[in-house]
A and B are shown apart, each in its own frame.
Chain A
């Protein structure tokens, strides 16, 4: 099987500081990969490079074998902070990317309706972002990216600022959207439990400079239980790796 997204020897330097060092990972079509690591390990930077919002200092990103060139809707991005346009309603936020492309009105309406329904926000189309909850805002952001039908879905701690219940609920909804749409997802998080619950593979990163120390397969059937003992072995392995990282930071 060919890789959908190949990250080949990507390094990133900000001035003299090496933030990412030789990141290599192939992500398959339809795969759900999580990237975990301590804060400051460059996981967000890696995602921004894949999105085309930052240039790598070295290395390449290939999407379906072609080198990427700047940001593009073929790599949809969900940010950690709320990124909706506050002056647009839910409907207008979701249709934004389609209107930019001058898609015919009818097709826009159909697409927007489909994805608003998929994220469970029917009935909230005319609400403004400041009138809906944090969880709903992230759902709108997901619908907005989905509407552009991206090859890859990049998510930067999208549920990081939500309360635990909402977070669990959105993880389940994301999984069901993933199953429906068969998208390839790269999901950055600092929560090991979140990573193990949702992903096929977990890339564990270390800091200073940011490197992928290990890629762990999560060979557990879905739907998973959050407390599944089968995950516990992987959980321990990742936590041990991260603990080593933490100790390194404390010694310094």
Chain B
């Protein structure tokens, strides 16, 4: 019975999606009748597969930008977040600066990114870093601040008595679920920054670069195709990290 119910639920979800796609095709084809205002589903699919290997390069370069920004954010975010969460003085030193910088939208950094770093991959990575940094910082901070005192005391009476060991063996693993959740949020934010970061011509390839290029050429079915690719990759990354997050919270990492 449970199995049947599951199957039926699946059917509803698929039909919902199919209906949406069919409606898109019909509305675009018979109502809007303009490939620029709303490209049809069929021409979008053609655009998706019609470009050959170029799409792969675009995805690759965007992934490069994301990984530059993300790895920096993970490294620096965990470092500063743990210092701020572990040492009382750390949060008092870091808080005012972080609270000042955090509300600045990542895209507002673009002019300085260009002046400081130039028009290159690192520059796009920097913008993504700004977006991805704060969720990791705040989550690491929360994790380290909320290490259950009883776990620290247990470790102490078991001979784990110095700060470095306590951080490595207790605080870090105890904060890991928070940190992984922070990384998942950061991947989402970072991915959103990719399009804008590539907007100002940092590289020849890139999903964001070509989203703008195709817009300039009024090839809106390609723009739509790239939007769908951006969405699908974002979804896939989120799902993977949700999986890791569940494992981290169970302690299986």
Which residues on A are within 8 Å of B, measured CB to CB?
51-53, 70-73, 75-77, 79, 81, 83-88, 96-97, 100-101, 128, 130, 141, 144-145, 148
Contact = CB atoms under 8 A, between A and B. Distances in A.
Interface of B: 150-151, 153-161, 165, 169-170, 173-174, 176, 250-253
Contacts of B157: 51-53, 71-73, 75-77, 145
Instruction: Please report whether the interface of chain A is mostly helix, strand, loop or mixed according to DSSP.
Output: loop
13 contacts: A51-B157, A53-B156, A71-B161, A73-B159, A75-B157, A79-B153, A81-B150, A87-B253, A96-B155, A100-B160, A100-B169, A144-B158, A148-B158
Contact of B153 (A71, A76, A87): A71
Given A86-B251, A100-B165, A128-B251, A148 B159 contact: yes
A51, A72, A83 — most chain B CB neighbours (10 Å): A83
Nearest to B248: A87
Contact of B251 (A77, A87, A100): A87
A148 B158 CA distance: 7
Nearest to A77: B157
B76 to A, nearest CB: 24
Nearest to A48: B153
Contacts of B151: 83, 85
Instruction: Please report whether the interface of chain B is mostly helix, strand, loop or mixed according to DSSP.
Output: helix
A81 B160 CA distance: 19
Contacts of A88: 173, 251
A51 B133 CA distance: 41
Nearest to A70: B161
A88 B160 CA distance: 16
Given A53-B153, A72-B159, A96 B251 contact: no
Contacts of A100: 158-160, 165, 169
Contacts of A101: 159
Contacts of A97: 158-160
B144 to A, nearest CB: 15
B236 to A, nearest CB: 27
B150 A87 contact: no
Contacts of A75: 157
Contact of B158 (A53, A73, A87): A73
B147 to A, nearest CB: 11
Contacts of B150: 79, 81, 83
A85 B150 CA distance: 10
A103 B172 CA distance: 22
B180 to A, nearest CB: 12
What 5 pairs between A and B have smallest CB-CB spacing? Answer: A87-B251, A97-B158, A71-B156, A73-B159, A83-B154
